[in-house]
Each structure stands twice: as structure tokens, then as C-alpha cells.
Amino acid sequence: MTGGVALSEVRGVRELLHTLVRDFDARVCDGDLAKRFVDEFSRVRRLAEAGITLALSQVDGTGAWAHGGEGARSTAEWFAKHAGLPLGEAIRATDTATKVAALPATEAALRSGRLSAQQTHQIADAAAEDPAAEAELVDLAAHASFGQLRDQARRRKAAAQGDADRAARQRQLRGARHWTDDDGMRNHGIKLTPDQAAKFEPVWDRFTNDEFTKARQEGRRESNEAYAADALVAMAQAILGDGHLRGGSPAHGLILVDATALRRGHTNAGETCEVAGIGPIDVAAAKELLGDAIVDILVKDGVDVRTVAHAGRSANRRQKAALLAEWECEIRGCGVQRGLEVDHIDPWADTHCTAIDSLGPKCRWHHHLKTAKGWRDGPRGDDGKRDLVPPGRGP
């Protein structure tokens, strides 16, 4: 299966490279020599990426990513964790690896160290739609810029997809993600199909124009992007009105703040003022939200919120708030902070009592593994986290 290559040989190359990089002193190189080092290391990187692509396809094909009790939910998630990559990048790499397995010319170019991971992705993505495009794109990659390759790959892909086909694929590609960046700003990445955009953007534009007009009246002059951001919030407020969506179901956000910080007006080191699952917010902004019907504020006043107990079937709102204050899935190494579900660690039927310590916040995936797939809770460790034990394993 390995074509005569042993894992120990690759490890030997890595150990050699490890020594070279450790001892490498770029500051003694002149600029031209430094450029040549960049070239050589780039070649090493391309070959390493090629090896990863070939092996990753097999990890995916054999289902081996699910072994080892790590609770990964896909090849990409396993890979992201092991390679220290963002999940999006790992998804792309896995997708490319499975496509390359059916593209011999791309695989040959990859093995010869001629393609970067990004070039391989562009070629595989288009050639999976139109195999006739493969040779042209591999050839193009050898002499054209990356931008030219990407544009041509997109053209070939679009031409290969019929209109109906394209619409179906676009529908699968739609999605929205949110994350907090290094500035503490909330980022949103939204992919809409063109017909969804046709319904959404005119409304957004209307609200953006309103924000523009308002800014002019107030003598403000900001970027159109800033008005568009304000417009999104104005849209949400316009829909919510008194805090209830049509149909009556409430929308909820949660802010956790120390009472001392709230009284003082700002946080000192070690104090909390955060939007749950999002990140720090200043106390003045939190106070403004106090009057907002859609935001719950949990004020910590020296009371250990974990002592709250309630003898009902489900965790009540205060308990949920206390659990949310722990911010993330309790499974060790998971780190998911959004959409947490409240899990009863000791089944209700046995205990007839719901205390905070018997509830564990889990992400949807880990909750699903436990409730539907026979995984069991391991003991909670000193770090407040626990492992999830696969079916058929000892505790």
C-alpha cells in the first residue's frame, strides 16, 4: 500500500529537516541566498502537502478518523485538530484529497512537487465537475499566476454545471458562520444563493440608505460598510419590536457581569463582563443592554452560581444561565461555545433532582453521541472537563 515507502523513512526526513531548521540562521544570508532558501523550503512544503493529500484521502476512505475515541465528527475535524488548522481549511484539504484520488494527472503533478495545496484545490474542484479540464489546468498551473488558474478553473466549473445543477449545488453551499476576531469584533460570513440574495439585499440596501440619511442629518460621514453594518442591527430591531418574534417565541442573548464591575462602570483585572459565547463587552454597553428585552443579564454578586439547584425536570433559566457561564462544551478538547445543550449527567429517573453539578453543558454533537450513539460520560476532572467514552470501552 505504501509503494515501498516506510513511515520511518518519512520520519527520518522530518528529523533531518528539524535539525536543519533549528540551526538555520537566516540573518547571515545575503538577500539572494535568503530567496533561494525560501524557494527550497517552498518545494519541501509542496511535497509535504502532497504527502498529506495522498494519506488524508486514505484516512477518509477507511473511516480511520473515527478511531481512537477522540469524538471527531469528520475527517476534516480530526485533521484540523492534528494539524492545528482552522476547520474551514481542513474541510478544503479533505475535499481536495478525496477528489485527487480520481484525477491521475493532478496526482502525478502533485507527486512531482509541482503543485501547491491551493493550486491542487482549484484544479481538483473544477476537474471533479469536468474531467476534460484537468490537463489544461495542470498545464496552466505550471506557468500562469494563481489568480489566472483560479479564474480559469471557475470558468470551466461553471461551464460544466448545467443551470439546474448549479442551482442545486449553490443551495448546498449556502450557510452562515460567526466568529470573534482578535479585535473582539463579531464577524459574520454569509453565503446566500443568488435568489436568496435577491430577496435579502434590497431590504438590506433600504436600511443602509436609511442609516446613510440618518448619518447625514447628524453630520456624520462614515463608510458605506459601516452604514451596512448598522443597517443589519436596525433590521433585527425592526423585526423584534418588543422582543418577541412573530409567533411569540422569545429571542435570547446572555451577558455575564460581575456586580462590582457593574457598579464601578468598568472591569478590573479578573472581573467578567462578557456576552456569552461571543466575548468581552464594555460595562457601559452592557448597562445599555440591561433595558433590552432580548438580553438576559446574569450578575455575579460573590454568590457561587453553581450552588443554584432546582427540583424540576429541566434546568431552569437561572441554571441554564449558570451553565452558559461556563462558556463551552464540557468535553475535553472540544471548545465549542455556541448552541450548547444542557445534559443531565445522572439520568433524571435515578435522582429525581436536578442540581447544577449533575448538569453538563455539551455541544450538539457530543450530546448526540451520548444520547443516541451509546457514548458515556467519563468522570469530571480537576479542569472541570470530562472525556466521552466510546461504546464498548472501559470507564
DSSP 8-state class, residue 363: -
Question: Which residue in 364, 299, 357, 307 sits closest to 336, CA to CA?
Answer: 364
Taking the complex as a whole, the smallest distance from the CB of residue 71 to Zn ion amounts, in Å, to 7
Taking the complex as a whole, the smallest distance from the CB of residue 80 to Zn ion amounts, in Å, to 14
Taking the complex as a whole, the smallest distance from the CB of residue 181 to Zn ion amounts, in Å, to 22
| Window 366-395: residues binding Zn ion (CB under 5 A) | 366
- Per CB under 5 A, which region of 17-25, 57-65, 248-256, 324-332 contacts Zn ion? 324-332
Taking the complex as a whole, the smallest distance from the CB of residue 172 to Zn ion amounts, in Å, to 25
- Per CB under 5 A, which region of 105-113, 275-283, 294-302, 355-363 contacts Zn ion? 355-363
Give the cell for residue 217: 442629518
Contacts with Zn ion by CB under 5 A: the residue count is 6
DSSP SS3 for 376 = strand
Where would I find the H helices in the chain?
Answer: 7-23, 31-62, 75-83, 87-100, 104-111, 117-129, 134-143, 146-160, 163-173, 194-217, 224-240, 259-264, 283-290, 317-324, 348-351, 364-373
Q: Is the dihedral of CA 222, 225, 228, 232 positive or negative?
A: negative
331 makes contact with Zn ion (CB under 5 A): yes
Nearer to Zn ion, 366 or 370 (CB): 366
CB neighbour burial string for 340-359, b if at least 16 within 10 angstroms, e if fewer: bbbbbbeeeeeeeebbbebb
323 makes contact with Zn ion (CB under 5 A): no
192 makes contact with Zn ion (CB under 5 A): no
Among 123, 334, 359, 369, binds Zn ion (CB under 5 A): 334
Among 153, 329, 340, 359, binds Zn ion (CB under 5 A): 329
Taking the complex as a whole, the smallest distance from the CB of residue 330 to Zn ion amounts, in Å, to 8
Which positions lie near Zn ion, rule CB under 5 A?
Answer: 329, 331, 334, 336, 363, 366
